[in-house]
Structure 1
Amino acid sequence: MQQPPSHAREILRLAVPAFGALIAEPLFLLADSAIVGHLGVAQLAGVGLASAVLHTAVGLMVFLAYSTTPAVARAMGHGQLGKALAAGRDGVWLALLLGIVLAVAGFWAAEPLVALMGAEGDVRSFAVDYLRWSMPGLVAMLLIFAGTGVLRGLQDTRTPLLVATAGFALNVVPNLWLVYGLGWSVAGSAAGTSVAQWAMASVYLVMVQRNAARHGISLWPDWSGIRAMTRVGSWLMLRTLSLRIAILATVFVVTGQGAVNLAAHQLAMTIFSFLAFALDALAIAAQALIGKELGASNSVRARQLTGTMIRWGAGFGVVTGTLLAVAAPWAGALFTSDAGVQSVLTYALWILAAGQPIAGYVFVLDGVLIGAGDAKYLALAGVANLAAYVPMLVAVA
């Protein structure tokens, strides 16, 4: 049975702005890859290696957004705005504390982490530089996660879109100036991105402060609330950890295959991240809408919205997969002039294209389950996927 038009409007109201906001980080990496890629293969490979480590740290902390969104949305469904804003405040404090710890640890552990990945020579040096200069931006990214989660839970995805758009525009200019104008190489790319990330985080901090003040919510943290959020996010952390282990293991194998394969893998993963976050726009809408409807005890509408979003997700995956398959032979030239990297990248992108329809379906279900508070299933499924993937990876090592 065809869903009421109001369902479509409600989904689009959240998903379309979320699409723009979600692709901000991949756009940062696409810009970095395009700028660094023309410096040379070693620079691009080094950025790829460092990005894998950064994505692990950032990815493990994504629960700051994914646990905050449904918590705020459920409180909204109950009509408890004060409780929603308090949860958001605690999320921001948790993000700040975790960000500082991770940034300090990441700076001092950059060299051994890169060495552990098997990099040598110039690739190793460039990876360490990029990783260390990215640490200030890591704190900002965690604050962005928490702030974004608050606004999504409040059914506002338009503001994150505006912040992300401004942040991307700000990212390109300092990167070009630092990399080519001052000759900072990959360090300039990381530093420029960190500046843009802090500008974005500052906007969220101001918005959270103003909302809290407007509704009489203290800005001081509630440590019991922070502990509760950590417990809720633990399953999401396990889910993400299983995914990051699979990705890092893949990078380890590719690193042993040489700089050309590693550079091509970096570009392929950057494009994959772009598409994955784009598909995740529907998942974000699912988190907010399902959380709100279940908070209001409206399970019928929650099921109707789920069905609509599943169909949309699969259809969107078909579209993105088709476009990627067509663009694959020419995409490499946008990021590097090395013919070997371009050739390997073409085959990698065709493989990615084949998986897009399934990805669209799965991403929506991911959002639905997070919105419903069933993070435990997602975590256990992620561990099972890892157990199935590792033997296949070993076979091609």
Structure 2
Amino acid sequence: MKAIHQRRLLPGLETSDHNGRVNKKMRYSSLPSSSIMKEYCLSIDLAKSSLSAVNACRKRIVPVVKSQSCSDCDTGPYEVNGISTQKNEYHLDGTEDGIEVIRVFFFPSKFVRGPASVLHPGNVRNELIILALPAIIGQAIDPLAQLMETAYIGGLGPVELASAGVSVSIFNIISKLFNVPLLSITTSFVAEDISKYVTGQSISGRGLQEENFKDKQVTSEMVERLRLPSVSTALLLAAAIGTIEAVALFLGAGLFLNMMGVPLASPMRYPSELFLSLRALGAPAVVVSLAVQGVFRGFKDTKTPLLCVGLGNLSAVFLLPVLVYSFQLGVTGAAIATIASQYITAFLLLWSLGKRAVILPPKIEDLQFGGYIKSGGLLLGRTLSVLVTMTLGTSMAARQGPLAMAAHQICLQVWLAVSLLSDALALSAQALIASSFAKCDYNRVKEITHYVLKTGLFIGIALAGVLFASFGNLAELFTKDAGVLQIVRTGVLFVSASQPINALAFIFDGLHYGVSDFSYSACSMMMVGALSSLFLLYAPSIFGLAGVWSGLTLFMSLRMAAGFLRLYWKTGPWWFLQQEIPKSEPQYDSVTMVPAEDDEVEYANVLAVD
């Protein structure tokens, strides 16, 4: 303890008796983040354990304020060099297990840095499994919900089914164009802010400003909820984008139907326009839900969104038959049921997020609109390029005749459905890489990158084998028409052989999003889309439907190649892959267990008051 006093780590700390009771009260004036408190507690316990002459002092307990970020990083007592350090909870009533709580002044800008290994990242494989499995199920829920809605509408008649199909296609195109960029950006930005918060780094730009509790009463809400500008910015942008989408779809329903080739004289016109106008009212809930899911992915939590989305869609299971058939509302009832489930999902997600983070922005100037708009604009062009290429492929397939179009649709749906597995893996990799990259933990980024690529290649090869063996029987679930099935069987090679390519292409997207390399992702996709579109314009006229499938395979192959080449650019964000990054550990004083270089580390200034 003498060494601690000499280094002014705990000036004024009174001697305690053998039970660890402190003789003088001390008061918190300014409270830092819990990770700083935990590292401080670890440093003190290690220092005390090295002094054999004062064994009685080892029982002294320095309370640690528990917060959400602390529980995310450490789930219990931790041990260093065989010395267990119990994580204690600070009770606001001023007592802890009969011991008067020490109250001290803490200055967040000056603190003792414990060993760098205090925050241990988990095993890459385990983290990927924990993140990817709920993500796979969550991504499958929305298509299943749309299939259920289609089934109920199909019972009303072919006109209603066709009307709903056209309207849903328009809604999905508009939603995907604007919502996917926001989702991808939110995941990366929130993961970066969380990492910087946990490690106690100073954050600028779109980072986190550490909250100052000086002269304020500490409440459980202050301690447990994170204040991240990236979260507030994402939610405000989501609300604005959702409102704009709703107004555009509601007022421009007729214009969009004209663009889709549904004339005024068509029997589908009125039900399509009514259905699209009603579904437009759910656009704000859809965009906000996706933004919140991106926030939770940044938290490395895919279970909570799965639960909320599942409960929201479960409500549609009960509402659809009641409104469509019991109340005989038809297409209108189906739209109302879907809208209700969307708002239920949004409410559950916001309610869950409110327990972990501050939703409303602390200050307007803390928001990160610049970063979101810049990156979002780039990804908007990227998403538009993907939509144009895929739509062009469908258009060229339709020119081959109804049988060829039906076969193409079956192949395309299976092709996209099995890609959900790779896409979920890519989303999980994005969250892990963004977290480690923000902490400049390049060795861990390397480990994640190599493991995810190997896993993606294995999954792609496995899917290729399964589809090649079973695709003929699988196609019979969609149609019994012999002519369509014959054409479908010729597409087995397209669907199965392209799976390894698809898997790696999706994973490369997640990797580049993880390091916030949005500009390269957008520009490369635009070039890839342009080349693939040129091929699709001419190849089908020569090779027929095989030309369409070849064009889509070329599209995914070029995406994969662009992602692969970026990893070997020495001037890009992946420069560290070409170098061996040494694992450096700080040197600590043998007595005080603080870094030996005083001029490189700022220490805590702890003052005692009567």
State which of 22, 38, 53 in structure 1 corresponds to 2:170.
53
Counterpart check, 1:29 vs 2:29: no
Counterpart check, 1:149 vs 2:149: no
Provide the C-alpha distance between the structure 2 equivalents of 1:337 and 1:368, rounded to a whole number of angstroms.
41
* Aligned match of 1:226: 369
Amino acid at match of 1:174: L
Amino acid at match of 2:455: W
Provide the C-alpha distance between the structure 1 equivalents of 2:508 and 2:351, rounded to a whole number of angstroms.
33
2:183/2:290 contact within 8 Å kept? yes
1:89/1:208 contact within 8 Å kept? no
1:13-28 → structure 2 map (5 Å cutoff):
13-28=130-145
Provide the C-alpha distance between the structure 1 equivalents of 2:334 and 2:351, rounded to a whole number of angstroms.
27
Provide the C-alpha distance between the structure 2 equivalents of 1:285 and 1:234, rounded to a whole number of angstroms.
23
Does the C-alpha gap of structure 1 residues 179 and 343 become closer, same or farther in structure 2, counting only changes over 3 Å?
A: farther
* Aligned match of 2:182: 64
* Aligned match of 1:168: 313
State which of 492, 495, 508 in structure 2 corresponds to 1:352.
495
Provide the C-alpha distance between the structure 2 equivalents of 1:154 and 1:13, rounded to a whole number of angstroms.
13
Provide the C-alpha distance between the structure 2 equivalents of 1:323 and 1:79, rounded to a whole number of angstroms.
44
2:230/2:367 contact within 8 Å kept? no
Provide, for residues 203-259 of structure 1, a one-character-per-residue CA deviation record: whole Å limited to 9, x for no partner. 12223333334xx96467658522331112221111111111223334445566777
How far the C-alpha of 1:69 sits from its partner, in A, is 0.9
Provide, for residues 169-222 of structure 1, a one-character-per-residue CA deviation record: whole Å limited to 9, x for no partner. 233332344444445555444432222221111112223333334xx9646765
Instruction: Give secondary structure in 1 for the equivalent of 2:357.
Output: helix
1:239/1:382 contact within 8 Å kept? yes
Does the C-alpha gap of structure 1 residues 323 and 253 become closer, same or farther in structure 2, counting only changes over 3 Å?
A: same
Provide the C-alpha distance between the structure 2 equivalents of 1:266 and 1:43, rounded to a whole number of angstroms.
20
State which of 515, 524, 530 in structure 2 corresponds to 1:372.
515
In structure 1, runs of 5+ residues without a counterpart are none
Provide the C-alpha distance between the structure 1 equivalents of 2:406 and 2:257, rounded to a whole number of angstroms.
15
State which of 191, 196, 206 in structure 2 corresponds to 1:73.
191
Provide the C-alpha distance between the structure 2 equivalents of 1:75 and 1:264, rounded to a whole number of angstroms.
46
Percent identity for Structure 1 against Structure 2? 28
State which of 445, 448, 451 in structure 2 corresponds to 1:305.
448
Larger Rg: 2
Aligned residue pair count: 392
* Aligned match of 1:386: 529
Does the C-alpha gap of structure 1 residues 49 and 235 become closer, same or farther in structure 2, counting only changes over 3 Å?
A: same
Q: Which moved more, 1:84-93 or 1:218-227?
A: 218-227
Amino acid at match of 1:65: L
* Aligned match of 2:552: none
Q: Which moved more, 1:91-100 or 1:251-260?
A: 251-260
- What is the alpha-carbon root mean square deviation over aligned residues? 3.4
Q: Which moved more, 1:43-52 or 1:202-211?
A: 43-52
- TM-score normalised by the chain length of structure 2: 0.57
State which of 426, 438, 449 in structure 2 corresponds to 1:295.
438
1:39-188 → structure 2 map (5 Å cutoff):
43-60=160-177, 61-79=179-197, 82=208, 85-119=228-262, 121-122=266-267, 127-188=272-333
Instruction: Give secondary structure in 2 for the equivalent of 1:373.
Output: coil
How far the C-alpha of 1:303 sits from its partner, in A, is 1.1
Counterpart check, 1:7 vs 2:124: yes
Provide the C-alpha distance between the structure 2 equivalents of 1:174 and 1:47, rounded to a whole number of angstroms.
17
State which of 371, 375, 382 in structure 2 corresponds to 1:239.
382
1:111/1:128 contact within 8 Å kept? yes
Counterpart check, 1:202 vs 2:320: no
Q: Which moved more, 1:37-46 or 1:24-33?
A: 37-46
Provide, for residues 323-344 of structure 1, a one-character-per-residue CA deviation record: whole Å limited to 9, x for no partner. 4445544556656787777776
Provide the C-alpha distance between the structure 1 equivalents of 2:406 and 2:159, rounded to a whole number of angstroms.
8
2:361/2:367 contact within 8 Å kept? no
* Aligned match of 1:316: 459
Specify which structure has the higher proportion of helix.
Answer: 1
Does the C-alpha gap of structure 1 residues 26 and 296 become closer, same or farther in structure 2, counting only changes over 3 Å?
A: same
Provide the C-alpha distance between the structure 1 equivalents of 2:465 and 2:157, rounded to a whole number of angstroms.
30
Provide the C-alpha distance between the structure 1 equivalents of 2:371 and 2:284, rounded to a whole number of angstroms.
21
Does the C-alpha gap of structure 1 residues 115 and 26 become closer, same or farther in structure 2, counting only changes over 3 Å?
A: same
Amino acid at match of 1:231: K
Does the C-alpha gap of structure 1 residues 5 and 93 become closer, same or farther in structure 2, counting only changes over 3 Å?
A: closer
1:329/1:346 contact within 8 Å kept? yes
Q: Which moved more, 1:180-189 or 1:308-317?
A: 180-189
1:41/1:338 contact within 8 Å kept? no
Provide, for residues 23-54 of structure 1, a one-character-per-residue CA deviation record: whole Å limited to 9, x for no partner. 22222233334444565665555444333322
Does the C-alpha gap of structure 1 residues 295 and 233 become closer, same or farther in structure 2, counting only changes over 3 Å?
A: same
How far the C-alpha of 1:86 sits from its partner, in A, is 1.9
- TM-score normalised by the chain length of structure 1: 0.85
Amino acid at match of 1:145: L
Provide the C-alpha distance between the structure 2 equivalents of 1:345 and 1:126, rounded to a whole number of angstroms.
32
1:119/1:255 contact within 8 Å kept? no
1:103/1:138 contact within 8 Å kept? yes
Provide the C-alpha distance between the structure 2 equivalents of 1:283 and 1:224, rounded to a whole number of angstroms.
27
Does the C-alpha gap of structure 1 residues 128 and 380 become closer, same or farther in structure 2, counting only changes over 3 Å?
A: same
Provide, for residues 248-298 of structure 1, a one-character-per-residue CA deviation record: whole Å limited to 9, x for no partner. 334445566777766766665554443333321111111110001111111
